[in-house]
Amino acid sequence: MTGKSSEISVPELSSYLALHCHETAYRFETLIGAYLSSGSENQTGEIASQNPSKADADLLSRRIKAERLLDGIPKYIDNYMLTLLAARHPLERFDRSILRSYIGNLTAPSPRFVSWKDRQADLRDLTANEVPGTEWDKAALLSSQGASDVLKWRDVPVFKPASDMMIYAMLLFELKPATIVEFGTGHGGSTGFMSDLAQLFGLDCDLHSVDRTGKVPEGFHTNAKHHIADCLQWVRDELPKLRLARPCLFIEDFHEKTDDFLNLLVPNLDVGDYLVIEDSFIKQAALDRFLREHTEVLIDTFYTDFFGVNCTSAVNSILSVQSEMTRSPSSTSSKSQTTQGGRPG
C-alpha cells in the first residue's frame, strides 16, 4: 500500500464496520480491543473528535429519513442525529457517544429479549453514569414522579414515573392480559389506571389488587377485586387457588423481601406471562439471583429502554416468561389453576 497513512481509533473503525455490516459497533470494538490487548492503551481509548466522513454521514442521514421518520416527522433524537451528521465540526464527547449508540441501533439492532447475563455485559459502560446502569440523569429521575406534586390519575396519586405509565399503556395493548395482579395498592391510582386502560382497550381482564392497608377509591373502578392481605402470604396461600386466565401481568410494587416474593411466584408463572418489578434500583441483587437461576425469564428491552436505557423504575425488570418455568416438585403441586383468556397471548 502506498500513500500517506492516517490513524483511526478503534471506536471509529468499529462504527464504520457496523455501518456496513449487520453487527453492533460495541461488538466490533470488543473484538478489536481483544486483538489489540497487547498494544497501546490509546488504541482502545477515547473516541477521536472527527465527524463521520461525508459519505458515511450522507448514507446515515438517508437511512434515518427512510427508516426512522414517521410520515417525514422525526422524533427529538432523530432530529438531533440528523443535525449532528450535517455538522462539519468536531463533536463533543456526549455527542460522539450518543451518535455511536444511535448508529449501532440503526445498523444492527440488539435482540429485544435478553438474558440477565447478556444484559449485564451490555450495561457495563453505564456503571459510571449518574444513575448507574441507566441513561437517566439524577435530576430527571428525581422529578420523574412529579417535581412539585405527585403524578395523579383522575386526581388519585399514582407514584409512578410518567415513562412507566406510557410503558404500561403500550404493554397492555400489546400483551392484552386476561389477568392483572398488582401487589401494593397504595392510594389506588395505579389500579384505577390499569382498570381504565383495560376498558379503553376492550380487554376482558380480571384485575386483582393486593395490599395490607392500601385501598381502591369508591366508585373509581368497575372490575378490580381488592384483597386486604399481606402480599407474601397472599401469593403463598391465595394465589394458587385462583383460576387465572392467561396471559397474566404481575406487578410487584410493595418492596418487601423481593427474593421471597419471586420464589413464591414461580409456581404461578406460565409461558407468555409478564412480571414487572417496580422501583428496582435497590433490587438488582435479588433479580440477579432469580434470573441467573430462571433463564427462561428474559428482560424485554423494548420496554426497559424505550425512553433510554433503563429510564424506568423497572430497571432490568420488565420480564417476559419465554419458556416453561423450572419448578421443584413441591412447587409444581401448588401451581395455580389456569385457563386461557379470551384473547391470544
DSSP class per residue in 138-182? HHHHHTTT-SSS--EETTEE--S-HHHHHHHHHHHHHH--SEEEE
Q: What kind and span of H or E run contains 101?
A: helix 93-107
- Specify the higher pLDDT residue, 67 or 173: 173
> Ramachandran region of residue 284, left (φ > 0), alpha (ψ -120 to 50) or beta?
alpha
- Specify the higher pLDDT residue, 120 or 32: 120
Q: Is the pLDDT of residue 42 over 80?
A: no
CB-based contacts of 44: which residues, under 8 Å, 6+ apart?
A: 10, 29, 32, 33, 36
Q: Is the pLDDT of residue 231 over 60?
A: yes
Identify residue 126 by its one-letter amino acid code. Answer: L
**262 C-beta neighbours (distance < 10 Å), count:** 24
- Find the helix packing angle between 76-86 and 54-67, rounded to 10°: 160
Q: Is the pLDDT of residue 290 over 50?
A: yes
CB-based contacts of 197: which residues, under 8 Å, 6+ apart?
A: 168, 169, 172
| Calpha distance 96→240 (Å, rounded) | 52
- Specify the higher pLDDT residue, 117 or 88: 117
| Calpha distance 10→73 (Å, rounded) | 34
| Calpha distance 265→183 (Å, rounded) | 12
pLDDT band at 332 (very low <50, low <70, confident <90, very high): very low
Residue 5, pLDDT score: 47
Spell out the domain ranges in the chain.
10-107, 113-340
Mode of pairing for the β-strands spanning 152-153 and 156-157: antiparallel
Q: What is the mean pLDDT of residues 55-72?
A: 89
- Specify the range with the lowest mean pLDDT, choosing from 32-41, 91-100, 149-158, 211-220: 32-41
| Calpha distance 254→231 (Å, rounded) | 8
The three grid cell numbers given for residue 240, joined into one nine-digit string: 394458587
Taking the alpha carbons of 210, 176, 272, 163 in that order, is the dihedral positive or negative?
negative
- Specify the higher pLDDT residue, 291 or 132: 291
DSSP state of 244: E
| Calpha distance 86→264 (Å, rounded) | 54
Q: What is the mean pLDDT of residues 16-34?
A: 63
CATH topology of domain 113-340: Rossmann fold (3.40.50)
Q: What is the mean pLDDT of residues 301-317?
A: 96
Residue 84, pLDDT score: 86
The three grid cell numbers given for residue 41, joined into one nine-digit string: 492503551
Cis omega (within 30 of 0) for bond into 52: no
| Calpha distance 313→303 (Å, rounded) | 11
Q: Is the pLDDT of residue 41 over 60?
A: no
Residue 301, pLDDT score: 97
CB distance 258 to 283 below 8 Å? yes
**145 C-beta neighbours (distance < 10 Å), count:** 17
Residue 7, pLDDT score: 61
Q: Is the pLDDT of residue 345 over 50?
A: no
Q: Is the pLDDT of residue 43 over 70?
A: no
Residue closest to 45 by CA, chosen among 95, 98, 91, 9: 9
Residue 6, pLDDT score: 54
pLDDT in tens, 178-221: 999 999 988 888 999 999 999 999 999 999 999 988 677 666 65
Q: What is the mean pLDDT of residues 161-170?
A: 96
Average pLDDT, the chain: 83
Q: What kind and span of H or E run contains 251?
A: strand 248-252
Q: Is the pLDDT of residue 333 over 50?
A: no
Q: What is the mean pLDDT of residues 76-88?
A: 87
Residue closest to 47 by CA, chosen among 88, 107, 105, 95: 95
